[in-house]
């Protein structure tokens, strides 16, 4: 039994420590984390590596229990075509901000009307304004979510803009996850 | 499925102005002009057909030129 105390550590530290332990071949890992976001990020990473993960609430933290019987922990690489869309601003392009905002709305409204040809949409920097309450493209994003598209918002960015509590669609992610997406995805479309 | 209509414009500037004004009054979404409707400007505004009259009124009151209001094409 390997124990990791990741309480109070900044993202993505808990994920990195846990990943290292799994890759080192630990069979049972107990991880303590402070917040919901760290808990979800660690769980997602472990499950992506094929390790069944459960968690329980402790007095001042969450305890994750990860089973990683060595050989079952082969990285699950998704085969076939996969595409991610990378949004790094709340508007499209440079020139006119007003036009850029309207173009972004038209972009998502158009995406939501067609069958998705992409698996994930990633939001960073000013792009995270699009996934929070009051965003003009919330309905379109919910529609994409219903069609099975994953929506990832950079936690650091939400935090920077003070929007972490206001996220209305998708999941809060971290650089670790996002770089993984870029690594595993066949094509990344940056808007 | 509710019925939708779409208003098209001669200029993107008019489309942007219309968006600013209409969104205060009715539910709208900004969409590219459907391919089946020929126009001069790529951006159009979609709303419920029942709001068509109101939209037209608001645009005229605010002197926003528009090309026409068309039924949203099926499919």
CATH number at residue B57: 3.30.70
**Tokens 């590219």, residue located:** B32
Answer for the pair A109, A137: CB distance below 8 angstroms, yes or no.
Answer: yes
Last residue of a domain, one of A18, A45, A72: A72
Last residue of a domain, one of A72, A103, A134: A72
- CA of B33 vs chain A CAs: smallest distance (Å): 10
Is A99 close to B16, i.e. CB distance below 8 A? Answer: yes
Question: In this predicted structure, what is the pLDDT of residue A149?
Answer: 93
Please give the residue range of the domain that contains residue B54. 4-71
Question: In this predicted structure, what is the pLDDT of residue A163?
Answer: 94
> How far does Cα A74 stand from its chain's mean position?
21
- CA of B11 vs chain A CAs: smallest distance (Å): 12
> How far does Cα B63 stand from its chain's mean position?
14
**Tokens 């002009």, residue located:** B33
Residue A92 burial by Cβ neighbours in a 10 Å radius (0-12, 13-18, 19+)? middle
Q: Provide the edge-to-edge strand list for the sheet that holds A53-57.
A: A2-5, A28-33, A62-67, A53-57
| Nearest chain B residue to A104, by CA | B30
Alpha carbons B67 and A113: distance in angstroms, whole number: 24
Of the partner residues A98, A109, A113, the one whose CB lies closest to the CB of residue B16: A98
Answer for the pair A103, A93: CB distance below 8 angstroms, yes or no.
Answer: yes
Taking the Cβ of residue A93 and every Cβ of chain B, the question of whether any pair is shorter than 8 Å is answered with no
Residues A67 and A105 in one domain: no
Complex confidence, ipTM: 0.72
| Nearest chain B residue to A113, by CA | B75
Is B30 close to A109, i.e. CB distance below 8 A? Answer: yes
* A77 lies in some domain: no
pLDDT band at A120 (very low <50, low <70, confident <90, very high): very high
Answer for the pair A172, A44: CB distance below 8 angstroms, yes or no.
Answer: no
| pLDDT tens figures, B18-65 | 999 999 999 999 998 887 886 556 889 999 999 999 999 999 999 999
| Nearest chain A residue to B18, by CA | A102
Alpha carbons A155 and B7: distance in angstroms, whole number: 38
* Neighbouring C-beta atoms of residue A120, cutoff 10 Å: 22
Question: In this predicted structure, what is the pLDDT of residue B8?
Answer: 92
- CA of B17 vs chain A CAs: smallest distance (Å): 10
Please give the residue range of the domain that contains residue A107. 83-190
Alpha carbons B7 and B26: distance in angstroms, whole number: 13
Alpha carbons B54 and A167: distance in angstroms, whole number: 33
Residues A49 and A105 in one domain: no
* A140 lies in some domain: yes
Residues A183 and A103 in one domain: yes
| pLDDT tens figures, A56-107 | 999 899 999 998 765 544 444 444 468 999 999 999 999 999 999 999 999 9
Residue from A95, A104, A105 to probe the interface with B (highest B Cβ count within 10 Å): A105
Beta bridge partners of A76: none
* Neighbouring C-beta atoms of residue A43, cutoff 10 Å: 21
Answer for the pair A45, A13: CB distance below 8 angstroms, yes or no.
Answer: no
Residues A111 and A182 in one domain: yes
Residue from A104, A106, A137 to probe the interface with B (highest B Cβ count within 10 Å): A106
Residues A56 and A129 in one domain: no
Is B31 close to A106, i.e. CB distance below 8 A? Answer: yes
Alpha carbons B14 and A184: distance in angstroms, whole number: 43
Question: In this predicted structure, what is the pLDDT of residue B39?
Answer: 57
| Residues on chain A touching B29 (C-beta within 8 angstroms) | 105, 109, 139-140
* A173 lies in some domain: yes
Residues A117 and A62 in one domain: no
């Amino acid at each position: 039994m390997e124990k990791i105390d990741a309480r109070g550590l900044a993202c993505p530290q808990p994920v990195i420590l846990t990943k290292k332990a799994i890759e080192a071949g630990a069979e049972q890992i107990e991880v303590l984390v402070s917040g919901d976001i760290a808990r979800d990020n660690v769980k997602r990473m472990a499950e992506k590596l094929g390790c069944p993960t459960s968690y329980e609430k402790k007095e001042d933290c969450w305890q994750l229990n990860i089973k990683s019987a060595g050989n079952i922990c082969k990285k699950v690489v998704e085969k076939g075509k996969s595409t991610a869309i990378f949004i790094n601003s709340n508007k499209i392009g440079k020139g006119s901000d007003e036009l850029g905002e309207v173009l972004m709305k038209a972009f998502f409204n158009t995406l939501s009307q067609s069958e998705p040809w992409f698996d994930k949409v990633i939001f960073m920097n000013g792009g995270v304004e699009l996934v929070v309450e009051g965003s003009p493209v919330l309905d379109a994003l919910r529609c994409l979510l219903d069609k099975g598209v994953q929506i990832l918002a950079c936690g650091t960015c939400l935090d920077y803009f003070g929007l972490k509590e206001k996220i209305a669609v998708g999941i809060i992610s971290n650089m670790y996850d996002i770089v993984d997406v870029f690594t595993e995805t066949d094509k990344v479309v940056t808007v | 499925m509710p019925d939708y209509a779409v208003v098209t414009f001669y200029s993107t500037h008019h489309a942007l102005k219309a968006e600013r004004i209409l969104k205060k009054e009715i539910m709208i979404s900004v969409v590219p002009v459907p391919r089946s409707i020929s126009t001069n400007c790529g951006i159009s505004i979609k709303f419920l057909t029942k709001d068509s009259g109101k939209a037209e009124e608001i645009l005229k009151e605010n002197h926003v030129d528009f090309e026409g209001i068309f039924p949203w094409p099926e499919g």
